[in-house]
């Protein structure tokens, strides 16, 4: 029998009677340190305060939250480590469906009524599995995905009973590293035995990474036909269609997903964003409205939801409502510089619309001051909003500077360019759009060339300093990142091993490998990285 | 009776029977509880009664759902060895030392794809039946047979009556004395709902030679 004596447990159940029975059961297993919470918010509060080893959570918690949402939010925000055992308890047989179709599953679940013996056995199994996975998780958290994959293989060779989960994890790691060919083979092998949804989704991801959009779409449609409740398939399918320019179809796919599973607020917000991009203000307002409303009970809400909603209202010329939402946000959250900045930018835009120009000017000045004072890095939407306000308040230089930064960061991202173009249209500067975008892109090219030239002329230090700084300013720009990595590796090759620089090079490559695995240049530089490492006897997986 | 077409059953009658059964079980349970107060008695009987009440409820839910939609199992990878071990642990408690329960998972695959909760429901009924009919010993087995997972409950009683062997689910409509005959009927539906590519699951019943007991088995592709 496993010794649970050192484990700390948290029970989340809205029924105090159930809490105390469960606590009793756990104490019979030797667990003396056990806390209970009757609501999701209280539970999150406790989890933020201290680490638990076991969380037992009831699925039905009432008041707009369920155990599955808590689980997803806790895992996604990394509030609980992968080593924490999360056990769901439920009276509903329907939960089985929920788990098998959710992106994130609990470590196990128990159907009420269950015996103490069952609970003990399940807990033991969960920890048995955690022990097997522990070395892999360590490698992942040390940012050593290649080594983590090797460890998966090692355990798989031992014919572990957790093979399926190991294969699943290995597939995710391969995809994160851009090794879609290897991942595809893995998934195809699984599907040959059994067409389980996650294997199909994985396969679709690898197809999309290989540029086979049509095949990816076909695979996803097959997955949806078989298991219509598997939500991740809709997200991916919508993404595929949007990148092919089928924006309305993409939106309707997400809307369908939200209909099936209306409680997942993150997808609701995706609908809002996509509807907004498509100019469908009514749907955007509805979706964001739900996010703001339902998010009220959630520990994980964000002021960005409020800002998004007020942006839609602004576009609908509902100025008072838009201002109210910003005021609401300020009431509902602690006043961080991020909120102050976002709120002020929105206010300046709303005042503009309402013809209250002096107030608009004042709000914008405040936003600019906060930005400089705190050196804040803006999201692309926020940058575009701020640029818009600058244009409207006759601060054209600031406006152009902001646009340039956004475009050079996301120079290959259609969505961002569209956002910028729409904004320029709204401020009556559609004619500038081509020019501004082209200039920003050509500035980046110039900078890249300059860096490459410096490197060629032998001034590697100069090249590194120019390109690394630039890559920090535009982290999404793959060309800048690769050139910077290249300079770092060549410098190492010539002037001797430099661990910090090689780590940085590795990070620059890995940051982009997920999205640009097919880029020839990336493959070459990755190969060079390995060659140089080998030359110095440094092992890379 | 056709098991894939449940609307053929008279739901109303079944529900009424089920509720009746629950009431009987609850009555027994209450008597037992009264007895516990007065004597220092073993509670394993009462535990079995609780299990059976719960079984009845689960069945009602399943029957309800089957009216409107086909049974669509949630197939996930599980370790049959773990599944059987947990199942046997609980069965040992129910058997309360009166019947020996053994398990055999030597030949079980490391993992298999099935709906753990549904299969557990079918196996529980088989276990309750076996506890009722067994002499001294029950064996629970998981094996891989021809690339199909075989889960079985084997007892040493008199074996299944001939009518049941010939038509395990057809007896549903007839009157029973010791139960409703719903258990095997649902087990067959559950087995058949497990489909992998072109193969479908099956419920298999047979008797060992000359009255050496019955074998209940689920075949899951
Ligand atoms: N292990 C067994 N040995 C002998 N006969 C059995 C065994 N299991 C089942 N039977 C026979 O098969 C019949 C049908 O079993 P089934 O489980 O379908 O219904 P039940 O147990 O009678 O009622 P319930 O609906 O409560 O399960 C039983 O009534 C019994 O006659
Ligand atoms: Mg029965």
A297 secondary structure, DSSP code: G
Chain-centre distance for alpha carbon A138: 21
Ligand nearest to the CA of B215: 1
| Contacts (Cβ under 8 Å, ≥6 apart) of A427 | A388, A391, A392
Tell me the nearest-neighbour CA distance from B90 into chain A, angstroms: 7
How far apart (Å, rounded) are the C-alpha atoms in residues B148 and A48?
47
- B221 pocket-lining for ligand 1 (C-beta < 6 Å): no
Show residues of chain B in contact with A113, CB under 8 Å: 50, 54
Under DSSP, is residue A533 helix (H, G, I), strand (E, B) or coil? helix
Give the strand order in the sheet containing A85-90.
A33-37, A8-12, A54-58, A85-90, A108-111
Give the nearest chain A residue to B147 (CA atoms). Answer: A193
In this model, does residue A222 exceed pLDDT 90? yes
Query: What's the length of chain B?
Result: 221
Q: How far is the centre of ligand 2, averaged over its atoms, from the C-alpha of A29 (Å)?
A: 33
pLDDT tens readout for residues A267-286: 999 999 999 989 999 999 99
| Residue-range domains of chain A with CATH | 8-141 (3.40.50.2300), 146-245 (1.25.40.10), 458-535 (no CATH)
Q: What is the mean pLDDT of residues A404-431?
A: 86
CA atoms within 13 A on the CB side of B131: 23
Higher pLDDT, A102 or B121: B121
Q: Would you say A162 and A194 are in contact if contact means Cβ atoms under 8 Å apart? A: no
Q: Whose CA is nearest to atom 23 of ligand 1?
A: B179
Burial of B17 (0-12, 13-18, 19+ CB in 10 A): middle
Q: Which residue has the tokens 């048995």?
A: A128
Decide the pairing of beta strands B76-78 and B112-114.
Answer: antiparallel
What's the confidence (pLDDT) of residue B9?
58
User: What is the band of B154 on the pLDDT scale with cuts at 50, 70, 90?
Assistant: very high
Show residues of chain A in contact with B81, CB under 8 Å: 161
Index of the ligand 1 atom closest to the CA of residue B184: 18
How far apart (Å, rounded) are the C-alpha atoms in residues B156 and B159?
7
Tell me the nearest-neighbour CA distance from B196 into chain A, angstroms: 7
Which among B50, B111, B117 has the least Cβ separation from residue A161?
B111
Which domain covers residue B98, as residue numbers? 3-220
In this model, does residue A401 exceed pLDDT 60? yes
> For residue A81, which of A47, A111, A56 has the smallest C-alpha distance?
A47
Which among B50, B90, B113 has the least Cβ separation from residue A194?
B113
A48–B contact, CB cutoff 8 A: no
Among A81-90, A319-328, A336-345, B204-213, the least confident range: B204-213
Chain-centre distance for alpha carbon A319: 32
Write A202-207 long-range contacts (CB < 8 A, 24+): A202/A168, A202/A171, A202/A172, A202/A175, A204/A233, A204/A236, A205/A175, A205/A180, A205/A236, A206/A175, A206/A180, A206/A181
What's the confidence (pLDDT) of residue A347?
97
CA atoms within 13 A on the CB side of A326: 25
Token pair, residue B167, equals 């038509």
In this model, does residue A58 exceed pLDDT 90? yes
In this model, does residue B101 exceed pLDDT 50? yes
**C-alpha torsion sign, points B133, B134, B135, B136:** negative
What's the confidence (pLDDT) of residue B1?
41
Q: Would you say A478 and A512 are in contact if contact means Cβ atoms under 8 Å apart? A: yes
In this model, does residue A255 exceed pLDDT 50? yes
Token pair, residue A514, equals 């997920």
Among A107-121, B28-42, B116-130, B131-145, the least confident range: B28-42
Give the nearest chain A residue to B115 (CA atoms). Answer: A96
Furthest-apart CA atoms within chain A: distance in Å: 76
CB contact under 8 Å between B74 and A160, yes or no, is no
Q: Would you say B117 and A111 are in contact if contact means Cβ atoms under 8 Å apart? A: yes
Q: How many domains does chain B have?
A: 1
What's the confidence (pLDDT) of residue A116?
87
How far apart (Å, rounded) are the C-alpha atoms in residues A515 and A519?
9
A353 secondary structure, DSSP code: H
Q: Which residue has the tokens 């220092």?
A: B40
Q: Which residues of B touch A (CB under 8 A)?
A: 50, 54, 58, 61, 74-77, 79, 81-82, 85-86, 89-90, 93, 110-111, 113, 115, 117, 196-197
> For residue A102, which of A122, A82, A75, A121 has the smallest C-alpha distance?
A75
Q: Would you say A519 and A511 are in contact if contact means Cβ atoms under 8 Å apart? A: no
Show residues of chain A in contact with B113, CB under 8 Å: 194, 196
> For residue A393, which of A347, A339, A343, A349 has the smallest C-alpha distance?
A349
Higher pLDDT, A540 or A396: A396
Show residues of chain B in contact with A165, CB under 8 Å: 77
User: What is the band of B195 on the pLDDT scale with cuts at 50, 70, 90?
Assistant: very high
What's the confidence (pLDDT) of residue B40?
64
How far apart (Å, rounded) are the C-alpha atoms in residues A219 and A241?
13
CB contact under 8 Å between A165 and B86, yes or no, is no
Phi, psi of A9 (to 5 degrees): -120, 150
Q: Whose CA is nearest to atom 26 of ligand 1?
A: B179
- Average pLDDT, whole number, for chain A? 91
Would you tell me how many other CB atoms lie within 10 Å of the CB of residue A511? 16
For chain A, helix, strand, coil in percent to 5 are: 70, 5, 25
How far apart (Å, rounded) are the C-alpha atoms in residues A199 and A195?
7
How far apart (Å, rounded) are the C-alpha atoms in residues B158 and B162?
11
Show residues of chain B in contact with A199, CB under 8 Å: none
Phi, psi of A280 (to 5 degrees): -90, 80
Decide the pairing of beta strands B195-196 and B148-155.
Answer: unpaired
What's the confidence (pLDDT) of residue B5?
47
Q: What is the mean pLDDT of residues A14-20?
A: 89
Residue B78 pairs with which residues in a beta bridge?
B112
Q: Work out the end-to-end distance of chain B between its first and last CA atoms, rounded to an integer number of angstroms.
A: 24
What's the confidence (pLDDT) of residue A337?
94
What's the confidence (pLDDT) of residue A466?
93
Show residues of chain B in contact with A164, CB under 8 Å: 77, 111
Decide the pairing of beta strands B76-78 and A85-90.
Answer: unpaired
In this model, does residue B4 exceed pLDDT 50? no
pLDDT tens readout for residues A175-221: 988 899 999 999 999 999 888 899 999 999 999 999 999 999 999 99
Strands, E, within B34-97: which ranges?
76-78
Return the CATH number at B169: 3.30.565.10
**C-alpha torsion sign, points A84, A90, A96, A100:** negative
Q: Would you say A204 and A216 are in contact if contact means Cβ atoms under 8 Å apart? A: yes
**For testing contact with chain B, the best of A97, A112, A115 (most B CBs within 10 A):** A115
Mutate to test the pocket of ligand 1, among B128, B179, B182, B207 (most ligand atoms within 8 A of CB): B179
Among A197-211, A279-293, A393-407, A426-440, the least confident range: A426-440
Would you tell me how many other CB atoms lie within 10 Å of the CB of residue A45? 12
ipTM of the predicted structure?
0.80
- B182 pocket-lining for ligand 1 (C-beta < 6 Å): yes
Total beta-carbon pairs less than 8 A apart between chain A and chain B: 51
Q: How far is the centre of ligand 2, averaged over its atoms, from the C-alpha of B184 (Å)?
A: 7
- B3 pocket-lining for ligand 1 (C-beta < 6 Å): no
The four Cα atoms A159, A164, A168, A173 give a dihedral, to 10 degrees, of -10
- B133 pocket-lining for ligand 1 (C-beta < 6 Å): yes
Query: What's the length of chain A?
Result: 541
Token pair, residue A497, equals 């091993």
Show residues of chain A in contact with B93, CB under 8 Å: 115, 117
pLDDT tens readout for residues B16-56: 778 878 888 887 887 777 767 666 667 777 888 888 888 88
What's the confidence (pLDDT) of residue B2?
44
> For residue B87, which of A128, A117, A28 has the smallest C-alpha distance?
A117
Q: What is the mean pLDDT of residues B187-198?
A: 93
Burial of A196 (0-12, 13-18, 19+ CB in 10 A): buried
Would you tell me how many other CB atoms lie within 10 Å of the CB of residue A330? 16
In this model, does residue B173 exceed pLDDT 70? no
Under DSSP, is residue B139 helix (H, G, I), strand (E, B) or coil? strand
How far apart (Å, rounded) are the C-alpha atoms in residues A519 and A459?
26
How far apart (Å, rounded) are the C-alpha atoms in residues A466 and A124?
54
Token pair, residue B6, equals 């449940």
Ligand nearest to the CA of B52: 1
**For testing contact with chain B, the best of A1, A91, A93, A157 (most B CBs within 10 A):** A93
What's the confidence (pLDDT) of residue B3?
45
Would you tell me how many other CB atoms lie within 10 Å of the CB of residue B83? 20
DSSP string, A26-92: HHHTT--EEEEESSHHHHHHHHHHS--SEEEEESB--TT-BHHHHHHHHHHTTSS-TTSEEEEEES-
């Amino acid at each position: 029998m496993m010794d649970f004596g050192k484990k700390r447990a948290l029970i989340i159940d809205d029924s105090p009677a159930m809490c105390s029975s469960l606590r009793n059961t756990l104490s019979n297993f030797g667990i003396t340190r056990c806390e209970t919470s009757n609501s999701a918010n209280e539970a999150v509060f406790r989890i933020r305060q201290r680490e638990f080893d076991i969380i037992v959570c009831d699925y039905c918690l009432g008041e707009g939250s369920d155990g599955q949402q808590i689980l997803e939010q806790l895992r996604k925000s990394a509030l609980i480590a992968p080593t924490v055992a999360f056990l769901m308890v439920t009276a509903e047989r329907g939960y089985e469906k929920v788990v098998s179709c959710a992106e994130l599953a609990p470590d196990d679940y128990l159907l009420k009524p269950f015996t103490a013996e069952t609970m003990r056995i399940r807990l033991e199994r969960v920890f048995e599995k955690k022990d097997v996975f522990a070395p892999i998780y360590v490698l992942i958290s040390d940012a050593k995905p290649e080594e983590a994959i090797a460890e998966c293989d090692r355990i798989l060779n031992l014919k572990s009973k957790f093979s399926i989960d190991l294969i699943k994890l290995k597939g995710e790691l391969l995809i994160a590293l851009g090794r879609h060919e290897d991942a595809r083979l893995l998934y195809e092998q699984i599907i040959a035995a059994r067409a389980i949804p996650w294997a199909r989704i994985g396969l679709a991801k690898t197809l999309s990474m290989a540029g086979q959009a049509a095949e990816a779409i076909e695979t996803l449609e097959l997955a949806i036909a078989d298991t219509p409740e598997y939500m991740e398939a809709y997200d991916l399918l919508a993404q595929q269609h949007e990148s092919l320019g089928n924006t309305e179809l993409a939106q309707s796919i997400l809307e369908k997903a939200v209909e099936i599973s209306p409680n997942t607020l993150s997808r609701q917000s995706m609908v809002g964003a996509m509807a907004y991009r498509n100019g469908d203000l009514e749907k955007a307002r509805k979706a964001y409205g739900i996010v703001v409303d339902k998010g009220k009970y959630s520990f994980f809400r964000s002021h960005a939801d409020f800002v998004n909603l007020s942006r839609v209202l602004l576009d609908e010329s509902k100025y008072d409502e838009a201002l109210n939402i910003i005021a609401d946000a300020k009431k509902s959250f602690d006043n961080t510089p991020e909120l102050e900045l976002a709120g002020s930018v929105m206010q300046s835009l709303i005042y503009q619309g309402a013809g209250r120009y002096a107030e608009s000017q004042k709000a914008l000045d405040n936003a600019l001051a906060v930005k400089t004072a705190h050196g804040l890095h803006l999201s692309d939407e926020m940058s575009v909003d701020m640029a818009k306000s600058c244009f409207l308040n006759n601060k054209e230089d600031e406006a152009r500077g902001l646009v340039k930064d956004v475009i050079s960061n996301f120079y290959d991202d259609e969505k961002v360019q569209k956002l910028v173009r729409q904004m320029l249209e709204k401020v009556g500067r559609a004619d500038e759009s081509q020019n501004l975008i082209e200039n920003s892109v050509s500035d980046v090219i110039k900078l890249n060339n300059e860096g490459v030239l410096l490197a060629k002329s032998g001034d590697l230090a100069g090249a590194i300093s120019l390109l690394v700084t630039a890559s920090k300013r535009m982290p999404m720009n793959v060309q800048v990142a690769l050139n910077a990595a290249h300079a770092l590796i060549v410098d190492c090759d010539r002037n001797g091993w430099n661990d910090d620089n090689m780590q940085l090079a590795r990070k620059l490559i890995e940051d982009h490998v997920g999205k640009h695995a097919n880029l020839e240049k990336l493959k070459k530089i990755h190969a060079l990285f390995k060659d140089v490492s080998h030359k110095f006897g440094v092992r890379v997986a | 009776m056709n098991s894939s077409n449940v609307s053929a059953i008279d739901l109303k009658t079944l529900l009424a029977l089920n509720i009746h059964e629950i009431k009987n079980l609850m009555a027994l349970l209450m008597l037992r509880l009264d007895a516990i107060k007065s004597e220092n008695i073993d509670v394993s009987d009462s535990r079995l009664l609780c299990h059976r009440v719960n079984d009845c409820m689960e069945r009602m839910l399943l029957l309800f759902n089957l009216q409107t939609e086909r049974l669509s199992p949630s197939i996930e990878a599980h370790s049959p060895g773990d599944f059987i071990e947990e199942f046997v642990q609980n069965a040992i408690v129910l058997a309360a030392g009166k019947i020996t329960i053994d398990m055999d998972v030597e030949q079980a695959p490391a993992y298999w794809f099935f709906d753990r909760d549904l299969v557990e429901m079918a196996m529980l009924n088989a276990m309750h039946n076996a506890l009722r009919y067994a002499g001294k010993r029950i064996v629970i087995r998981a094996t891989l047979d021809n690339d199909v997972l075989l889960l079985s409950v084997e007892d040493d009683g008199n074996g299944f009556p001939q009518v049941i062997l010939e038509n395990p689910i057809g007896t549903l409509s007839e009157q029973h004395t010791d139960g409703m005959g719903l258990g095997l009927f649902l087990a067959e539906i559950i087995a058949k709902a497990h489909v992998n590519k072109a193969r479908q699951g099956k419920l298999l019943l047979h008797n060992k030679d000359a009255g050496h007991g019955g074998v209940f088995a689920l075949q899951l592709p």
